[in-house]
Structure 1
Amino acid sequence: MGRILAIDVGTKKIGLALSDPLRILASPWGSLQRDSFLWAKIVTLCKNEGVDLIVVGYVASDYYGTATRMVNEFVLELKKHISLPVEFQDESFSSQKAESYLRVKGKKKRCPREDRDSLAATQILWEYLDSRR
């Protein structure tokens, strides 16, 4: 069993989180700019970290909305660059949960955006792992 990479898709950046090899823990990895090097960075990350599954967050209540279209387009492009299986996990309120976590940890509202993006991806991965237990 390999690691799981969770992705929180945003318009400018994507947040990333990784599971441990046993798929018990979820940890923030960071964020990446949505630029021309994005796909190469994701492929390299997956190879270097032993990823064998990608989980992408989507908002279930936005089935026909802009956010869902953005996620679907992202996944279609992702599948052109990597042959790993991709699953979806409802990410409703993941960003708000990440903000709450940062407040509990004493971080100010102006913490780096990549922290929030990565923590949102971590929340997606936690919920995915919990649903599989």
Structure 2
Amino acid sequence: MMRVLSLDIGTKKIGIALSSIDQSLIFPVGKIRFDNFKGIVFFEKLKFELRSFWEEIGIAIIGKASEGNAILSQIDQVFRMLKAWTSWDIKFISEDMSSSDSWFFLKSLKFSSNKAREKLDSYAALIILKDYFDSINKEVLVSF
């Protein structure tokens, strides 16, 4: 089996979540920050962030925003880059509510607003990953 990666792409940050190699557990990894999105810089930062897992990833799930969302061209750029530079199977899943769902989830766990803001992007990616596994009827444990 291979790990499944999830990316929640925003204007200034990309949240990252990952599955265990047997796909029984999913967990938030972190986020990549940038002031001005540059594909090659993003790719190098992603490789660095996932250096311990890179060779074990087989699928990447990208959160896809609604039509008209300003981030769509960035999502497309990430998709094309991953398709060209990895052997991963790239899939899209709706991420329209992932950030707000992530916020409410973190607040329900009694995180302060500052701490919740810090974790928001990786937890949005975690929600996208959970939605993916739900869509293929696969039960996973969620690690916080």
Q: Shorter-normalised TM-score: what interval?
A: 0.7 to 0.9
Identity %: 28
**Is the CA contact 1:3–1:53 (under 8 Å) kept in the aligned structure 2?**
yes
Q: CA deviation at 1:94?
A: 0.5
Equivalent position of 2:22 in the other structure? 22
Q: Please report the RMSD computed on the Cα atoms of aligned residues, expressed in angstroms.
A: 2.0
**Is the CA contact 2:15–2:31 (under 8 Å) kept in the aligned structure 1?**
yes
**Is the CA contact 1:98–1:120 (under 8 Å) kept in the aligned structure 2?**
yes
1:54 pairs with 46, 57, 60, which one? Answer: 60
Q: CA deviation at 1:107?
A: 1.1
Gaps of 5+ in 1: none
Q: CA deviation at 1:115?
A: 0.6
Q: CA deviation at 1:48?
A: 2.7
Aligned residue pairs total 131
TM-score normalized by structure 1? 0.85
Matches of 2:118 and 2:85 in 1, distance apart?
24
Q: Structure 1 counterpart of 2:5, which letter?
A: L
Gaps of 5+ in 2: 138-144
Change (3 A) 1:86 1:13: same
1:53-92 mapped onto 2 (5 Å cutoff):
53-59=59-65, 62-92=66-96
Please tell me whether residue 104 in structure 1 is matched to residue 108 in structure 2: yes
TM-score normalized by structure 2? 0.79
